Amino acid sequence: MTHRITYTLKELATLLSPQKDAEAVSRLARQLRHWTNEDLLQTVGAKHTGTGVSRRYAPEQVRLAAILMELNRYHVPITVLSECFETLTSEYSKRDEWKQAVQGKGAIYLMFAYSDEFISAQLFSGQSRHPMLEPKGQISGKPMVSAITINLSRLFAQLEL
C-alpha cells in the first residue's frame, strides 16, 4: 500500500476494522468519532467538520486509534483513558522505543495498568525488564494490580500505513 498523508474517518474505520463488512466499519466509525469528540484522537484540521467534509487523521493518530481499540477490548473506561492518553500522545510518541515500534525494530511493549488509586502507562522493550515486575509487588509504592500489555511492534505492523 502506498504511504498516505491522512485518512478520512471512513478510511480509518475500514483500516482498523477486523471485519471489513459495512456494519462493523460503521460501528467502529461511531467509536472513532466518540474518541475524537473526547479529544483522545486529534484530527488534521477541524474536529467538527461541516456536511460533506470529512475529518482527516494523520498516521500517528491511526496508531493511537489501534491502541484505543486494544484497550477497549478490555473495557478500560473512557474516564481512565482521558486521564492518561495525553501522555501517550505527547510524551511517548517522541521516545526512541515508540519510534522503534513504528519502524518494526525489535519488540516494543506498552504496559497499561489502573486502579481506583493510580494509572500507569509505560513503554519498554523486549530486552528490558517488564516495568510491573518491581520488587515486592509494588509499582510507584502502590499495590500491584492487573495490567494490560500490548505488543506495539506487532500492532503497528498490522496497520497497512
* Closest C-alpha among 110, 112, 87, 113 to residue 100: 110
For 78-136, what is each residue's pLDDT tens digit?
A: 888 888 777 777 778 788 888 999 998 889 998 888 877 777 777 888 765 555 544 44
User: What radius of gyration do the chain's Cα atoms show?
Assistant: 16
pLDDT given at position 33: 92
pTM of the predicted model as reported, rounded to 2 decimal places? 0.82
> Structural domain boundaries of the chain?
7-158
Mean residue pLDDT of the chain comes to 81
DSSP 40-86: SS--SS-SS--TT---EE-HHHHHHHHHHHHHHHTT--HHHHHHHHH
